[in-house]
């Protein structure tokens, strides 16, 4: 059977939560962060299809087989005065990398952002992933090196929530 040269991008639909979680776990393993994955199929299902969806997801298929995904959500830029699209996860299975799947996923997200009149599409990439960084630069993306990401999780998040903000 001849392989398709063009990936098909479709929206995730109810019933895809297990597939999305599998892609998340594959991404985490690639990034050597699988020990941080706490998500479950039920959490993914609720985040994508529950009463208050927190994110959207698209699936890339080649020859009808899921080979990648992009999970994203709306953020907001006060400087631009407009929403933006934040790409949380992008993953393509290793055996089809280089066949345009990642580019097709990012093209789809750029189209979504433009059609919604968003001011930007942004994401973070782990600093040792030279292949991804080179790929993003080839697409015209620029690194925002003068910003540092901060994060509160777990005990630190809970502790701050219990205080009045005084450290």
Helices marked H in the chain: 17-30, 41-49, 101-115, 130-138, 154-162
The range of the structural domain enclosing residue 128 comes to: 8-162
How many other C-beta atoms can be found within 10 angstroms of the C-beta atom of residue 126? 11
pLDDT tens digits, residue range 141-157? 999 999 998 999 999 99
* pLDDT for 164: 76
* pLDDT for 78: 97
- Kindly state whether residue 167 falls inside one of the protein's structural domains: no
Distances (CA, A) of 71 to 4, 20, 87, 156, 161: 23, 9, 6, 26, 27
* pLDDT for 3: 55
Tell me the C-alpha distance between 42 and 104, whole Å: 28
CATH number at residue 68: 3.40.630.30
- Kindly state whether residue 1 falls inside one of the protein's structural domains: no
- Kindly state whether residue 114 falls inside one of the protein's structural domains: yes
Distance of alpha carbon 97 from the chain centroid: 17
Catalytic residue among 30, 86, 118, 136: 136
- Kindly state whether residue 140 falls inside one of the protein's structural domains: yes
- Count: domains in the chain: 1
- Kindly state whether residue 67 falls inside one of the protein's structural domains: yes
- Kindly state whether residue 2 falls inside one of the protein's structural domains: no
Query: Mean pLDDT throughout 90-110?
Result: 97
| Predicted TM-score of the model (pTM) | 0.92
pLDDT tens digits, residue range 12-33? 999 999 999 999 999 999 999 9
- Kindly state whether residue 144 falls inside one of the protein's structural domains: yes
- Kindly state whether residue 83 falls inside one of the protein's structural domains: yes
* pLDDT for 51: 98
Q: Give yes or no for residue 2 having a pLDDT over 70.
A: no
Percentage of the chain lying above the pLDDT 90 cut: 91
Is 136 assigned a catalytic role? yes
* pLDDT for 1: 43
């Amino acid at each position: 059977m001849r392989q398709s040269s063009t990936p098909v991008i479709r929206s995730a639909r109810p019933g895809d939560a297990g597939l999305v979680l599998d892609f998340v776990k594959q991404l985490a393993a690639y990034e050597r962060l699988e020990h941080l994955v706490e998500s479950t199929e039920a959490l993914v299902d609720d985040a994508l299809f529950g009463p208050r969806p927190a994110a959207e997801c698209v699936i890339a298929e080649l020859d009808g087989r899921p080979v990648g995904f992009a999970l994203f959500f709306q953020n907001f830029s006060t400087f631009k005065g407009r929403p933006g699209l934040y790409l949380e996860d992008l993953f393509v299975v290793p055996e089809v990398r280089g066949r345009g799947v990642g580019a097709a996923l990012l093209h789809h997200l750029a189209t979504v952002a433009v059609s919604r009149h968003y001011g930007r599409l942004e994401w973070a990439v782990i600093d040792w992933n030279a292949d991804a960084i080179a790929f993003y630069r080839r697409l015209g993306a620029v690194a925002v090196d003068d910003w540092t990401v901060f994060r509160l999780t777990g005990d630190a998040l809970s502790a701050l929530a219990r205080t009045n903000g005084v450290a």
